[in-house]
A and B are shown apart, each in its own frame.
Chain A
Amino acid sequence: MFVELNNLLNTTPDRAEQGKLTLLCDAKTDGSFLVHHFLSFYLKANCKVCFVALFQSFSHYNIVGQKLGVNLTVARERGQLVFLEGLKSAVDVFFQTQEEPHPLQFLREANAGNLKPLFEFVREALKPVDGGEARWTYPVLLVDDLSVLLSLGVGAVAVLDFIHYCRATVCWELKGNMVILVHDSGDVEDEENNILLNGVSHQSHLILRAEGLATGFCRDVHGQLRILWRRPSQPTAQRDQSLTYQYKIQDKSVSFFAKGMSPAVL
């Protein structure tokens, strides 16, 4: 995890708020560093993590995770991490007979209906284990990324319903957290993606939006991050509603600085 990002969000693995939905959004840049941050953050917080990984392979997340101090293979083996590798299991839908509906069952259907099988997979993965001591602090659902479901033919409202049910179960019932990545294509014509992005935004407590610089690519400043806090428990929370920082991604860390204050230009 990136310590500087924790400082900006005023959080640490041992005192993170529960019952929250965090939306990660990227526009004209790659926001996957935020996914890696939260994956390592919640594994270090000893949470039970269900990762619906539709964008990259397990080994990709594992290699990056090791740079950030977490071993996904070990976490999976000891039951802390439930990993749905979308790229691999999408093929299983077609070539393996399944007793119960596969989480990605919608790929087989002519009209992709709802994502109820995927929700039931998540609920099963994160439900508390009966008996025995609680090994994990609280459950976390991580999705990378939701826009892939639109590309696979699922309607925006069906994806929003899936997020709604996950929020009801993970955030409200189990007092866990959710972290969802949605791409912002910036295309006004892409109505489905805009409905999805705005719909999840309205359900979110925290929005982290990574944007490319308006002036183009830069060697020393890779983008800017806008942090928007929504739905505080008190309507007049004293903290700032919105903050904007620029950042530079390095091999094992990300450094943040105020706009125009990159060390390269000072």
Chain B
Amino acid sequence: MLDSLLSLGGLVLLRDSVEWEGRSLLKALVKKSALCGEQVHILGCEVSEEEFREGFDSDINNRLVYHDFFRDPLNWSKTEEALPGGPLGALRAICKRTDPGPVTIALDSLSWLLLHLPCTTLCQALHAVSHQDSCPGDSSPVGKVSVLGLLHEELHGPGPVGALSSLAQTEVTLGGTKGQASAHILCRRPRQRPTDQTQWFSILPDFSLDLQEGPSVESQPCSDPHIPPVDPTTHLTFNLHLSKKEREARDSLILPFQFSSEK
């Protein structure tokens, strides 16, 4: 399921922590999109363009469009190089594109945007982008938009995280044990029950995804069929069972708070 996250489109939330960083997985998913022939836009706020492109070969790098908000995001240098409109302006500009093909937008990171923009503004922009309705007057067909948002969980309170979570079609929470990384994937498909799954994985040096069998592949424990279930009433010194007569008497009892014609 981890390698098909982007097939649904919409917002994919990558929740990472200090212990289990998520940028490697973000880059692996970006590489996957590029290999599928999609156009990939990166809103880079936390790392430099060189660092983000490191590890990708030239085929992948040629498909990546990097919007640099790392060097001077707050325009302290007061030069003309600052991108107008900030990150949200860039996001809207990507959405107004004329190319109808599918596009993936990677937000590195959503945490940076959430710390610098009002939560409501950010949520509205994400809703508009991931639901493809930010171009009301544009009659040209718009392709599938997938938004990958990297979120550092510890930086935000439950309110903003909950708001972003409610917007997301898919949530991936990174964790792991004993040096092996895992992704807990919660998927919300329209008109279906949410599904969740835990996938163990590693990222190879070329940022390919290597799915693995981890300590626990299934998210729910299954009982061992060879051991019969133990009856907890076997060694009791008192009787918990009811005879047939006692059961009938109990079922026909009228409780004090029940209204009946006899009372």
Using CB atoms and an 8 Å cutoff, list the residues of chain A in contact with chain B.
Answer: 114, 116, 119, 157, 160-161, 164-165, 168, 172, 191, 194-195, 198-199, 201-203, 207, 228, 230-231, 233-236, 240-242
Contact = CB atoms under 8 A, between A and B. Distances in A.
A164 B18 contact: no
Given A165-B76, A194-B154, A198-B155, A231 B21 contact: yes
A236 B205 contact: yes
Label chain B's interface by main secondary structure: loop
Contacts of B157: 191
B116 A157 contact: yes
Nearest to A23: B18
Contact of A195 (B21, B155, B203): B155
Nearest to B76: A116
Contact of B203 (A119, A165, A236): A236
Interface in B14-29: 18-19, 21, 23-24, 27
A236 B209 CA distance: 12
A235 B24 contact: yes
Nearest to B203: A235
Label chain A's interface by main secondary structure: helix
Contact of B76 (A119, A198, A201, A203): A119
B51 to A, nearest CB: 8
Contacts of A231: 21, 23
Contact of A199 (B155, B204, B207): B155
B18 A207 contact: yes
Given A119-B76, A168-B70, A198-B154, A203 B207 contact: no
- Count chain A CB atoms within 10 A of each CB in B18, B23, B72, B152 and give the residue with the most: B18
15 contacts: A114-B76, A116-B76, A157-B116, A164-B73, A168-B48, A198-B18, A199-B152, A201-B18, A230-B18, A234-B205, A235-B24, A235-B207, A236-B202, A236-B203, A242-B19
A172 B50 CA distance: 9
Interface in B192-231: 202-205, 207
B203 A202 contact: no
B71 A168 contact: yes
B203 A157 contact: no
B101 interface: no
Contacts of A195: 115, 155
B152 A160 contact: no
Contacts of B21: 202, 230-231
B115 A203 contact: no
B86 interface: no
Interface in B24-63: 24, 27, 46, 48, 50-51, 54-55
Nearest to B45: A164
B46 A203 contact: yes
Given A114-B74, A168-B70, A235 B18 contact: no
